[in-house]
Amino acid sequence: MFTGIVESLGEVVGIEKEQENVIFSIKSPISHELKVDQSLAHNGVCLTVISISEGVHTVTAIQETLRKSNLGDWQTGSLINLERSMPANGRFDGHIVQGHVDQVGECISVKDEAGSWLFTFEYDTSTGNFTVEKGSICVNGVSLTVVNSQLGQLSVAIIPYTFEHTNFQQIKAGTKINLEFDILGKYIQRLHNLPSSS
């Protein structure tokens, strides 16, 4: 389990295809502290560390992960938001994030608000996902508050610290992003759609 508070930026330094899987090598300030078999969120996608060497860790993305996330768009040099799983005695500085991306969205605008930035994203509503104003959303592994919610569209405000310490600095109109919707909202949606027993 994660909280959506990015711990470090990583950089993709190697990409290797292995049948239908893709192996990514990522260099970061925390890679040397990781352990093989450890879960780590990469742009909000929970991946297992399979090897570590000289400040670089390696993970494998299977076809299902590539299909449901923006990992297939990664290139050498891409910046990746990293977060280790929350310790049992940790604080919830963000919200409950599972590391299971629901879908890929797309940035449709970035507005400079003179001290912050307003990012607006579009997403497919056919899967039943939704947001509410002041609710939580996870974008590329970053826990954020929705400031504007419409059907198939949401906006978030990004402060300078978040902009500088995450890959929001690389997001522009047309960029594909990973979205994990609030787990509480997903349960409420599911309960609402259950057939009544009579």
- pLDDT tens column, 121-171: 999 999 888 899 999 999 999 999 999 999 999 999 999 999 999 999 999
What is the arithmetic mean of pLDDT over 107-115? 94
pLDDT value at 91 more than 80: no
pLDDT value at 185 more than 80: no
Given pLDDT bands bounded at 50, 70 and 90, which one contains residue 98? confident
Contact 168, 160 (CB under 8 A): no
The set of long-range contacts for 167-170, using a CB threshold of 8 Å and a minimum separation of 24, is 167/9, 167/43, 167/78, 167/79, 167/80, 167/81, 167/140, 168/117, 168/119, 168/140, 168/142, 169/79, 170/78, 170/79
How large a percentage of the chain has pLDDT more than 90?
Answer: 77
Phi-psi region of 115 (alpha: psi -120 to 50; beta: other; left: phi over 0): left
pLDDT value at 197 more than 70: no
pLDDT value at 30 more than 60: yes
pLDDT value at 93 more than 70: no
pLDDT value at 198 more than 70: no
Given pLDDT bands bounded at 50, 70 and 90, which one contains residue 106? very high
- Return the exposure string of 28-55: e unless at least 16 CB atoms fall within 10 Å of the residue's CB, then b: bebbeebeeeeebbbbbbbbebeebeee
Q: Are strands 136-139 and 103-112 parallel, antiparallel or unpaired?
A: unpaired
User: Would you state the structure tokens that stand for residue 93, as one six-digit string?
Assistant: 């500085």
Given pLDDT bands bounded at 50, 70 and 90, which one contains residue 190? confident
Amino acid 24: pLDDT? 98
Amino acid 194: pLDDT? 67
pLDDT value at 196 more than 80: no
Domains assigned to the chain:
8-84 (2.40.30.20), 103-193 (2.40.30.20)
Contact 34, 51 (CB under 8 A): no
Amino acid 187: pLDDT? 77
